[in-house]
Structure 1
Amino acid sequence: MQEILQTAIIQADLTWEDPEKNRANFSEKIAEIRDEVDLIVLPEMFSTGFSMNAEALAEGMDGPSLKWMQHTAQTTNAAVTGSLIIKENGNFYNRLFFVFPDGTYKTYDKRHTFTLAKEDLTYTAGRERLIVEYKGWKICPLICYDLRFPVWARNTSDYDLLIYVANWPETRIHAWDILLQARAIENMSYCVGVNRTGNDGNDYKYNGHSAVYDSLGKGIFSTEGQGEFMEIVALESSHLKETRDKLKFLQDRDRFNLV
């Protein structure tokens, strides 16, 4: 397991339903990274904002946003993750891609579609969780509303890093802050949450609060402010191992299966 996983989190103001402009904005921010990084984390629906206009915005699995992610991963020699609106086999998905530096990728479809915004009427919910193995780290990437459902994030596979990519509005940001910390504590893992900022086309306001917590829930980094922001955070495998070996909380977890 690689000792340090250098993780770049990018909090951005997403231009409503404008994939080309959003990709260009992220390209500019990524070009500013001078240090070597292992992983770049983008928000939920990073190319469009949290839109229900799937018919007009959806891309195929060979679309420009996935190709951009692959190109970015290859040119930076870093993995890139974030979610997109995808159409496949006649269905729409809020699909997260974890793209490796060689351009290959794995996918996760958002399990908990946000009924308050009628996401469940537009997007097909995923059925399977994804655990990615990357540089010796086991990573569980999830999407926004998934954060409210601890059983889905439950660390039954001894993952090391939990990631939430999100469009989480300011009106409920207190829940975002608390739940990110709680997921880190109960799963004894690093927890990274990357949110957007700015206003969307429905006039919902987003104020960021992207954050990183260690396996005891201690805050390593938080934007707190409302603007665009990029930060590189060093996640340490030795800290994780020492904490788990000393406290052994995961060994006492209840045993049950989801049905």
Structure 2
Amino acid sequence: MEKTLKVTIVQSHLHWENPIANRQHFSEVFETIKEQTNVIVLPEMFTTGFSMNAETLAEETNGASLQWLQAEAKKHNTAITGSVIIKESAYFYNRLFFVLPDGTFKTYDKKHTFTLAGEHKVYSAGDQQLIIDFKGFKIKPLVCYDLRFPVWARNTEDYDVLLYVANWPEKRINAWDALLKARAIENMSYCIGVNRVGLDGNGHQYTGHSAVYDVLGNLISETDFEKEFHQTISLSKQHIDSNRKHLNFLNDADKFTLT
């Protein structure tokens, strides 16, 4: 039997710096997902929007948003992922949670903080990558600005799915489209990008362009710009394995190590 992974991308407006309203909104969205799914993907900082107001908005790791993610994952029997503002010791992080259906979770702290918006002045950068083994697929989650840096995404772990959650603004959306496709092609993996829509509290406009690309760079999701929507896409392990075996590109890649 073919091994598949069903992933639901959720493109949504975000209530500015209002975690309660955002959690309620996504709870309502989850109730409308009628297809069977294994992973639900939310945008970056899905409880607040891309805010530098960490002092006011940050939660402890086991705060309200993680508890909500765990409850929703158990309720809908699916993994859920997205990033949240977290305080740990005296430091703030843009932290992605990948919560499994049983409530256990793994985390990834955004590596490349967005200096143009001053993110590096507020949030500490992570230095650890994460690979999640889930239902026979290896998933590598990253966050927004990480997309611009291909070395950090380099497929040295034989992962199957590269996943980005983002608040990527309209003015640079062409880069988002091009780089998502490029990351899929160069890593011979599925590449998923989930972005938000709407206007944030800083006046930045977001137009979504959430997308799923296959290992050859073909767009396999629907395109719905500027609107809220969700879609469930089935990923195929056979598609990955057969194309890698036939084309063999990853085996010809330059060898290097990160220092």
Aligned position for 2:239: 239
TM-score (norm 1): 0.98
Shift of 1:222: 4.0
Aligned position for 2:142: 142
Aligned position for 2:184: 184
Query: Counterparts of 1:73 and 1:130 in 2: how far apart (Å)?
Result: 20
Aligned position for 1:128: 128
- C-alpha deviations, 1:226-253, integer Å up to 9, x for none? 0101000111111111111111111111
Shift of 1:2: 6.8
Q: How high is the sequence identity, in percent, across the aligned residues?
A: 60
SS in 2 for 1:220: coil
Shift of 1:223: 2.6
Shift of 1:224: 3.9
Q: Which amino acid is the alignment partner of residue 66 of structure 1?
A: L
Report the number of matched residues: 259
Aligned position for 2:200: 200
* Structure 1 position 97 matched with structure 2 position 97: yes
Aligned position for 2:66: 66
Query: Counterparts of 1:200 and 1:176 in 2: how far apart (Å)?
Result: 18
Structure 2: which 5+ runs fail to align? none
Aligned position for 2:31: 31
Aligned position for 2:118: 118
Query: Counterparts of 2:97 and 2:183 in 1: how far apart (Å)?
Result: 21
**Displacement over 2 Å in runs of 4+:** none
- C-alpha deviations, 1:133-177, integer Å up to 9, x for none? 101110000000000000000000000000000000000000000
Aligned position for 1:53: 53
- C-alpha deviations, 1:186-219, integer Å up to 9, x for none? 0000000000000000000000000000001001
TM-score (norm 2): 0.98
Q: Which amino acid is the alignment partner of residue 198 of structure 1?
A: G
Q: Which amino acid is the alignment partner of residue 7 of structure 2?
A: T
